[in-house]
Amino acid sequence: MTTIEKAHLINEKYKAFNFIAEALEGGEGLLSGVAVSVKDNVCVNGMQSTAGSKILEGYIPPFDATVVAKCRAEGAGILGKTTQDEFGFGTFNVNTGYGVPLNPHDPERSTGGSSGGAAVVTAVADFPHLAIAESTGGSISCPASFCGVVGITPTYGRTSRWGLIDYANSLDKIGCMGKTVREAALLLTVISGPDKYDSTVLHEPTQDYTSYADGCAEGLKIGVPEEYFGEGVDTGVTEKVWTGIKTLESEGATVTEVSMPFTKHSLSSYYIIAMAEASTNLAKLCGLRYGLHMPLEGNFDEYFSEVRTLGFGEEAKRRIILGTFTRMAGYRDAYYLKALKVRTKVIEDFKRAFKHVDVLAAPTMPVVAPKFSEIAELEPIQHYMMDILTVAPNLAGVPMISVPCGEHLGMPVGLHLMTDHLEEGKLVKAASAVEGAR
């Protein structure tokens, strides 16, 4: 059976793809023989790219995103586009204009979002596979934790965002997933580095991150933020995460508690900033240039409203409205500018902690993957609260990795490791020690 045929079987069972390639074309290089799946908000030449939204149905980019081009240059074959929450708007990958992906450990449970499809394919593929994913507030770490795979979110600007269908420009980061730490580190090695098309990318030397996957934690200083183990974190999750932390200690690391006092304010700051940027970014989807369009009737406001009413899902509309509100005259100072000041305080929290420790360790998510029946009973604010452990490092733009550290209720639990900006090597080193000990 070919890899493409296997991808179709995965899709039939788990609804993991929005688009699958007709053929897998590869070449020579670091990713020779590897099938790379691409989150649906990262453009691939000739493949429908919708960011999970009906408003972009039928949009076929005439170019590759830089990260995709780098994978092709190293011999990878592009397998297809994986499912996601619409524009990244979700924690459970249920806010989609297309199929809702199913968790491979229990199809009655969520994969996590917004990069749910990427995590599913990574978990179940029985062929060489790596996944390009993307995170704004935890969209790589969450599904990696829920599906029991490794997810790396790099430093903001470590990878080019050229060819990404934006959610929030100051927060979006393209990263990777793999079955193992070494596999995810290999993809990060390939996609990192400068890009002439992206003015926000960092001009820092790239590294071979696989060289850090030696399973050794000797000499690492691990900080455990007390605020990440508070109310709402399942005791079973806490137990498994501490098992992972103790593993690092047994492998030669030292462990100490640290305080991150602005963690409690990070969720509100994140959602104000992210929604404000999203409402601005999505204004361009008005039915005139690409994506969904209608017969040109009435004035522009009427046409614009009709297209967006039909094309956007309920959560997208909610975030556009909230984001527009926070940018309005009279509210911008009270909400948006204040949220930016809080963001600075969150960054200072991390910088202060990293003066004393190399790596921060916490639960990736407060719970294991919930059942769809449980998600259906949640209010929107409860969806947002699920991101409480992942939004702070995303606000700060620091790199992070979710690595499996055990199971609770028969479902995977992720250990979240975070380091200072551009210290991805330490992340890989610590995560490989946890993985090796298991």
Q: Is 222 left (phi over 0), alpha (psi -120 to 50) or beta?
A: beta
pLDDT tens digits, one per residue of 386-427: 999 999 999 999 999 999 999 999 999 999 999 999 999 999
The predicted structure's pLDDT at residue 433: 98
Residue 143 lies in a domain: yes
Residue 298 lies in a domain: no
Tokens of 60: 């076929």
Mean pLDDT of the region 42-49: 98
Q: Is 252 left (phi over 0), alpha (psi -120 to 50) or beta?
A: left
CB atoms within 10 A of CB 297: 8
The predicted structure's pLDDT at residue 155: 98
Helix (H), strand (E) at residue 238: helix 235-250
pTM for this entry: 0.97
* 435: pLDDT strictly greater than 90: yes
* 366: pLDDT strictly greater than 90: yes
The predicted structure's pLDDT at residue 206: 86
- Does the active-site annotation cover 139? yes
How many domains, in total, are found in the chain? 1
Which domain CATH number covers 54? 3.90.1300.10
Is residue 99 a contact partner of residue 44, using CB atoms and an 8 Å limit?
no
What is the residue-averaged pLDDT of the chain?
Answer: 96
- Does the active-site annotation cover 317? no
Alpha-carbon separation of residue 198 from 169, 201, 203, 226 (angstroms): 12, 6, 11, 37
Residue 283 lies in a domain: no
Residue 243 lies in a domain: yes
* CA contacts within 13 A on the Cβ side of 254: 7
Residue 31 lies in a domain: yes
Among 39, 54, 81, 240, the active-site one is 39
In sequence order, the 6+-apart residues with CB closer than 8 A to the CB of 19 are 40, 47, 48, 49, 80, 81
Q: Whose CA is closest to 111, among 186, 182, 52, 36?
A: 52
Residue 135 lies in a domain: yes
The predicted structure's pLDDT at residue 290: 84
Among 37, 49, 114, 432, the active-site one is 114
pLDDT tens digits, one per residue of 294-345: 998 889 889 999 999 999 999 999 999 999 999 988 888 899 999 999 999 9
Q: Is residue 118 very low, low, confident or very high in pLDDT (cuts 50, 70, 90)?
A: very high
Residue 37 lies in a domain: yes
Tokens of 159: 């990878």
- Does the active-site annotation cover 39? yes
Among residues of the chain, what percentage have pLDDT more than 90? 94
Give me the domain span that covers residue 190.
3-260+348-437
Residue 212 lies in a domain: yes
